[in-house]
């Protein structure tokens, strides 16, 4: 089994959220009282439902910590040229597609578990394509391309973190709604649409606060 994405995502999301909202004087206390218990509960829940072993939950936790250290705390990649970032990000879906095609050409069906599920499951609604490894790759590829295209320091206003959080939550809720209605009868189309959705989600999260601030500034300028 793969490292649990739930534990990894929980670490990244809650760390970034609390780091943005917590005051410097109470930051340590907030992390001890809120962050640590939430991570323990997340890992315990995944173990309780027999989704993962303890060592896998810990590995997901550590990978989340690594993502925070390499990306959230390091803004150096934002200063790179957009073309360079897009090329790096485009390598992800390119490698994934090449790997997928190689496996199919060699006679191995990467979606063998999906085929068995469709054959033996009594209800088609019990089949979740969003748990397959290639779904994760298409989702991450779309997000990476969105970050490469819009991840620029001029679009990021750290003084408006509240607006960024609200727009991020709204965009995430919208993306989740669209995710639920995407047809799943064609797995290739499903992967492609999920890549587009996650690309659009990151674009919205970054650019929406920037556009709102710009429009509000123009409105105030006209009043003066």
**Mean pLDDT, each 10-residue run in order, the chain (224 residues):** 74 88 85 94 90 86 90 76 83 81 86 73 69 76 86 69 77 87 83 89 85 78 64
Domain boundaries, the chain: 1-74, 77-224
What distance in Å separates the CA atoms of residue 137 and residue 196, rounded to the nearest whole number? 12
Give, in order, the Cα–Cα distances in Å from 116 to each of 106, 113, 122. Answer: 19, 5, 12
Q: What is the pLDDT of residue 1?
A: 44
Which of 76, 69, 70 has its CA nearest to residue 151? 76
**Distance separating alpha carbons of residues 92 and 61, to the nearest angstrom:** 23
DSSP letters spanning 135-149: HHHHHHHHHHHHHHH
Q: What pLDDT is recorded for position 39?
A: 94
Number of Cβ atoms within 10 Å of the Cβ of 157: 13
The token pair that represents 40 in the structure block: 């323990």
Residues 6+ away with beta carbon under 8 Å from 2: 56, 133, 136
Would you say 25 and 65 are in contact if contact means Cβ atoms under 8 Å apart? Answer: no
Give pLDDT, residue 222: 65
């Amino acid at each position: 089994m793969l490292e649990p994405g739930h534990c990894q995502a929980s670490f990244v999301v809650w760390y970034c959220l609390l780091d943005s909202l917590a005051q410097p004087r109470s930051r340590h206390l907030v992390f001890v009282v809120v962050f640590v218990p939430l991570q323990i509960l997340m890992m315990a829940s995944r173990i309780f439902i027999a989704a993962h072993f303890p060592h896998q939950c810990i590995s997901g936790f550590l990978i989340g910590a690594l993502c925070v250290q390499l990306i959230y705390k390091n803004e150096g990649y934002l200063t790179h040229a957009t073309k360079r970032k897009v090329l790096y990000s485009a390598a992800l879906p390119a490698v994934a597609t090449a790997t997928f095609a190689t496996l199919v050409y060699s006679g191995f069906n990467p979606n063998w578990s999906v085929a068995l599920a469709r054959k033996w499951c009594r209800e088609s609604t019990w089949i979740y394509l969003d748990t397959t490894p290639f779904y994760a790759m298409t989702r991450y590829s779309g997000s990476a391309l969105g970050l490469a295209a819009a991840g620029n320091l001029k679009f990021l206003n750290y003084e408006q973190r509240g607006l960024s959080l609200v727009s991020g939550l709204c965009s995430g809720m919208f993306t989740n709604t669209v995710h639920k209605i995407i047809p799943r009868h064609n797995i290739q189309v499903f992967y492609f649409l999920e890549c587009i959705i996650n690309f659009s989600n990151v674009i919205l999260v970054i650019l929406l606060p920037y556009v709102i601030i710009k429009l509000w500034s123009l409105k105030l300028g006209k009043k003066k």
